[in-house]
Structure 1
Amino acid sequence: MRDILVIALVALFALMALRRPWIGVMLWTWISIMNPHRYAWGFAASAPVAMVAALVTLIGMLFSRERESPFKGAPVWLFFAFSLWITLSWLLGVDPVGDYAQWDKVMKIYLMTFVALILLNNRHHIMAFVWVTAGSLALLGLKGGIFTVLHAGNYRVWGPGGSFIQDNNAFALALIVTVPLVYFLYLQVQQKWARYGLLFTMSMCVVSALGSHSRGALLALIAMGAVFWWRSRHKGLISALIALMVLLILPMMPAEWWARMGTIAEYQQDHSAIGRLNGWIVAWEVAKHHFFGAGMSYQHQHFFDLYGYYNNHVIAAHSIYFQVLGNHGFGGLVLYLAMWLATYRTASWLRVHAQALPQAQWAADLGAMVQVGLVGFAVGGAFLSLSYFDLPYNMMVMVVLARRWVQTRGWERDPPGSLLEYAGLMRRKRPHAGVAPATGMARRLPS
């Protein structure tokens, strides 16, 4: 039954994407992030659903009149430069043939990121993109949170098999980064049932992340929680939710969870932490001796034999920073960091400038919550190999498109209402009364 449902949904939206390719972007996003076919047990589990989504989207894009240039801001130019650098790194790496599969996987994600920038061009598209991106992970977090509560945290929560977030630690970080996006949606909806449902989903995402027994996720949660509280327009509500988590969830967690969290300050005695430090040392040395890095992976035995300080055991980078450093050298790391800094600054621009426009309040909320999510990714990513995961790139797309929408007075050309508005899952556009005319505030917005 699950197989039939997944294939039926993919087929339906694939047909729609041929005429409206932006729907194909949503289909790809759902499949790439949530991996719904991995939860089927028959023919759908191995079906090339992602390839189908990409193909119909590209075909539809060829015949679409709504294509735009994807280069809509500094983050995109840096993303393009990083994509080129990755390709050079792969071609000049130590094992181009062996690394091809990883390069191919990453480039497909990057290609569809550019496709999203080409096809999504109004508020309804952006909001749908946020709903699909956040909802794909929030549903898994809801399921994982309920599982954690029912089993009192005695079992770890894992992500969809065969995905970037299959590992419990990676899945936990993805959920933590998703929480501010869900809160952004909470700020936009009108129906009380939807608002309460989103608050409950946020809580379950946090519980699920804690149920993963991930130490890095706990650090990311603390850092993001502080920024979340600071950025929120409803500090009382956020304070109440945090207090509820502390009082109800943490006492429930088993002794094993507390013992694992206690090792954060005892990394000298933790073999896992020592292994990560050793992997980071190797990444640094590889970057020192290879200008473009090792390629799509620096996990080669001869590198660990040469540069391993504590041992010569090959280990994953367990850090977005050292993963990029070892794979793509110092140049790649500079581009990677610059890309996320530019994305954060774009979100900051939205938070400051969109606030002054009644029609763009949603964009200000989006900028603030993307900033919160990026902080969580920056902290938690220091301990996980998630450099190529879709979610932060989707957040980049959101703020870049939203900024262009604000700068070009997108509310004047948006289509009438969307299905989300009619269902009460999006606030209707605010009236134009009292808004600065075209010669006023919007035209003076800094570029």
Structure 2
Amino acid sequence: MQALFILSVWTSLVALGCLAPFVLALAYVWVDLFRPHDVAPALGQLFPFSLTTAVLTLGAYVLVDRRDPPRLGLLTALLIIWAGWITLTTTWALYPTAAWAKWDWAFKTILFSTLLPFFFRSRIQIEAALLVILCCIASNVVCFAIKSVLASGGYGRPLGLIQINAGWGGEGSTLGTYAFACLPLVAFLQRHSIVAPSRGWLRWVYFAAPVIAVIGAFGTFARAALVACVVWAALLWWRSRHKFMVAIMLVAGAAAVVPLMGDAWKARISTSFAPRQDESANTRLLVWEWTIGLANQYPAGAGFNGYLGNRFVTQDEWGEDNVQEGRAFHSIYFEVLGEHGWVGLAIFLATFAVFFLNMRSVRRAARARPELEWIGDLARALSHGVLIFMAGAAFVGIAFYPLHYYLLALAVSTSAALHRATLSSADRAPQESLADLAVGHNAARLPAWRQRAGQTKASI
């Protein structure tokens, strides 16, 4: 039944895409984030969801929907450069087989994110993309929340739809980071959505989203989730008009939730303040130190999965030696540094820097125009979402997972929407001036008493 339901969802999206080609892009985002081939492995072995959807999406754009393309700015250029650089580093990778295997999906994620602004152009299309992203994330976060309440959570436990401790839907640190990174997008839709307005039962869904995110993320027992939560709470407090009341609510919420998490959760989180005393956290620090040395040895990068060459000897709680080999980077920054060198890290960080500068410019441009308030608030929501992601992902190696690339793509769509609105206003202004001139010319030919009557009526 699960496989049939998933197949029916995909078929419905493809069918709608025949009428509105941008829906096929939504279908690709759904396939990439929800990962139906992992949720129902048997179905995934029989049908290539990702490849089929990608071909249909590109075909629909080329044949049907090439109108009004966005401007290719610096952010898009950096994404293209980034895709080219990771391809170059793969050619000289220390472990070619493993490197090309990761490049295969990482390159497609970056490349397709540069194409999404060609599909998501209008306000409705951008909202639809946000809703698909949020529904995909919620599909696993809600599962984690329910199972954490009923049977308690735990680190490394596959409590989502994907029954393995891998991918964003099965790995706790990634899921916790994604859960909080999406909350600013939920707040934006709650205020501005046309497709799913905050009325009726949907109002309660918007109100429940932060609670579900906290329970689901904390149920993973992941330290990255706590970091993401702290950044989200700080941003929420900073943007609020009633800071004192929001601070009281946040403190009261923490006081209510933390005691319910149990001693196991508290013991794991407490290791964040003494990482050398925890084997997992200590190994992570050793990997980061080793990665800096690797980057100094290979400034242009060691290629994907360069961590396979590390080896450490640590001591467990009984004082016995424990050999650690091939430990992952556990940080997007050290992942990029180790795999693509100092050059790659500079491109990676420059992409985020340009993103934040672009969104700041969009907010400033939309501030003085009430009809563009939604664009300014969307730019702020995207900025906060990416900032939360960058904080949580500092402790998990997900530099090439799709969510933040899709947020960068929507940032390009947001800038393009502002540009189109500005051009539309500029086009209307000369027409309005000509109309005013014609009205004034005709009025000058009227008798004096008719002109005075018209001025009186206009003032009323």
Deviations 1:285-329 (A, max 9, x none): 22112232111121233x548xxxx97622000000000000000
Q: Secondary structure at the match of 1:300?
A: helix
Aligned equivalent of 2:23: 23
Aligned equivalent of 1:327: 339
Amino acid at match of 2:92: L
Aligned equivalent of 2:436: none
Aligned equivalent of 1:294: 302
Residues 67 and 119 in structure 1, CA contact (< 8 A), matched pair in contact too: no
Return 5+ residue gaps in structure 1 as ranges.
413-431, 440-447
User: CA separation of 1:219/1:408 partners in 2, compared to 1, >3 Å: closer, same or farther?
Assistant: same
Percent identity at matched positions? 26
What is the alpha-carbon distance in structure 1 between the residues aligned to residue 303 and residue 367 of structure 2?
Answer: 43
User: CA separation of 1:71/1:107 partners in 2, compared to 1, >3 Å: closer, same or farther?
Assistant: farther
Q: 2:184 aligns with which of 167, 180, 187?
A: 180
Q: Secondary structure at the match of 2:170?
A: coil
Residues 158 and 167 in structure 1, CA contact (< 8 A), matched pair in contact too: no
Given the alignment of the two structures, is residue 317 of structure 1 paired with residue 329 of structure 2, yes or no? yes
Q: 1:257 aligns with which of 261, 265, 268?
A: 265
Misfit runs of 4+, over 6 Å: none
Spell out the pairing of 1:100-179 with structure 2 (5 A cutoff): 100-153=100-153, 156=157, 158-159=159-160, 160=162, 161=164, 163-179=167-183
What is the alpha-carbon distance in structure 2 between the residues aligned to residue 314 and residue 87 of structure 1?
Answer: 22
Spell out the pairing of 1:77-88 with structure 2 (5 A cutoff): 77-88=77-88
Aligned equivalent of 1:389: 401
What is the alpha-carbon distance in structure 2 between the residues aligned to residue 225 and residue 175 of structure 1?
Answer: 13
Higher radius of gyration, 1 or 2: 2
Return 5+ residue gaps in structure 2 as ranges.
313-321, 431-460
Residues 94 and 295 in structure 1, CA contact (< 8 A), matched pair in contact too: yes
Indicate the RMSD between aligned Cα atoms, in angstroms.
2.8
Amino acid at match of 2:172: N
1:235 Cα deviation from its structure 2 partner: 5.5
Q: 1:270 aligns with which of 269, 273, 278?
A: 278
What is the alpha-carbon distance in structure 1 between the residues aligned to residue 366 and residue 373 of structure 2?
Answer: 6
Residues 138 and 202 in structure 1, CA contact (< 8 A), matched pair in contact too: no
Aligned equivalent of 1:230: 238
1:44 Cα deviation from its structure 2 partner: 4.8
Amino acid at match of 1:212: T
Deviations 1:356-395 (A, max 9, x none): 2222111111121222212211211111001011111111
Amino acid at match of 1:248: A
Amino acid at match of 1:203: V
Amino acid at match of 1:184: F
Q: Secondary structure at the match of 2:307?
A: coil
User: CA separation of 1:117/1:97 partners in 2, compared to 1, >3 Å: closer, same or farther?
Assistant: same
1:85 Cα deviation from its structure 2 partner: 0.6
User: CA separation of 1:152/1:4 partners in 2, compared to 1, >3 Å: closer, same or farther?
Assistant: closer
Aligned equivalent of 2:62: 62
Aligned equivalent of 2:379: 367
TM-score (ref. length: structure 1): 0.85
Aligned equivalent of 2:450: none
Aligned equivalent of 1:195: 203
1:351 Cα deviation from its structure 2 partner: 2.6
1:406 Cα deviation from its structure 2 partner: 1.0
Q: 2:217 aligns with which of 205, 209, 217?
A: 209
Amino acid at match of 1:333: L
1:115 Cα deviation from its structure 2 partner: 2.1
User: CA separation of 1:6/1:153 partners in 2, compared to 1, >3 Å: closer, same or farther?
Assistant: closer
User: CA separation of 1:300/1:41 partners in 2, compared to 1, >3 Å: closer, same or farther?
Assistant: closer
Deviations 1:207-240 (A, max 9, x none): 1111110112202211221023213467688557
What is the alpha-carbon distance in structure 1 between the residues aligned to residue 65 and residue 32 of structure 2?
Answer: 26
Residues 177 and 376 in structure 1, CA contact (< 8 A), matched pair in contact too: yes
Amino acid at match of 2:283: G
Amino acid at match of 2:204: Y
Given the alignment of the two structures, is residue 398 of structure 1 paired with residue 410 of structure 2, yes or no? yes
What is the alpha-carbon distance in structure 1 between the residues aligned to residue 72 and residue 344 of structure 2?
Answer: 22
